[in-house]
Amino acid sequence: MSDDIRNEHTGERWVYSPTVKDHFFNPRNLLLEDPAAGEFDASGMVGSPACGDVMHVWLKIDKATERVSDMKWKTFGCGSAIAATSMFSVMVTENGGMLLTEAVKLRPQDVMKRLGGLPNRKIHCSVLVDKAFRKAANEWFRTTGQVDHIQVDGARVIDAATGVTDKDIEEAVLEGSVTLEDMQKRLKAGVGASEEVRTDIEQLIRFYKEKYYG
């Protein structure tokens, strides 16, 4: 079987699964134009056109059951981002829709399993929709007074000398930096730092490796 993709720098090769190809060429729940005001109950957006991928999602919530009755989305991103978002939208709306409190617990691994896998360097694509969805869910929880359900991503400085945070390390792991040496090369994190700082970095690397790669 021939490669669909070969990374010219690392030599990594992969063939996209039939499911990924299907959701890329036939995306479900795609919205080409922004909806009218008030058409949806909540929305969330992550990313920046200046930096790369952008993801915008819109949700309709059944007010009696708080199930996700509809999810539409629009993205500026790669084929993996499109396929991951399309699949995510199916997962949260199928079979009458997931409870919103359960939908926010979906992990990137859940999306990748349904897609039949994604290359390691494309795992961040399934994280993009997850973050946009949680922003929309937070908007719903906020407007309905359910502040105890709001999930907020904080950032904690891990290496004060370089200003590297836990979120910087998370993003680096998603991009393939999975050892302390990788982090030192990529972020300068831990270079000349105390043993305590290096241990914190290594623990975070293990945590995010397990979270995203299983």
Q: Which are the catalytic amino acids?
A: 51, 125
Give the chain as a 3 state SS string: CCCCEECCCCCCEECCCHHHHHHHHCCCCECCCCCCCCCCCEEEEEECCCCCCEEEEEEEECCCCCEEEEEEEEEECCHHHHHHHHHHHHHHHHHHCCEHHHHCCCCHHHHHHHHCCCCHHHHHHHHHHHHHHHHHHHHHHHHCCCHHHCCCCCCCEEECCCCEEHHHHHHHHHCCCCCHHHHHHHHCCCCCCCHHHHHHHHHHHHHHHHHHHC
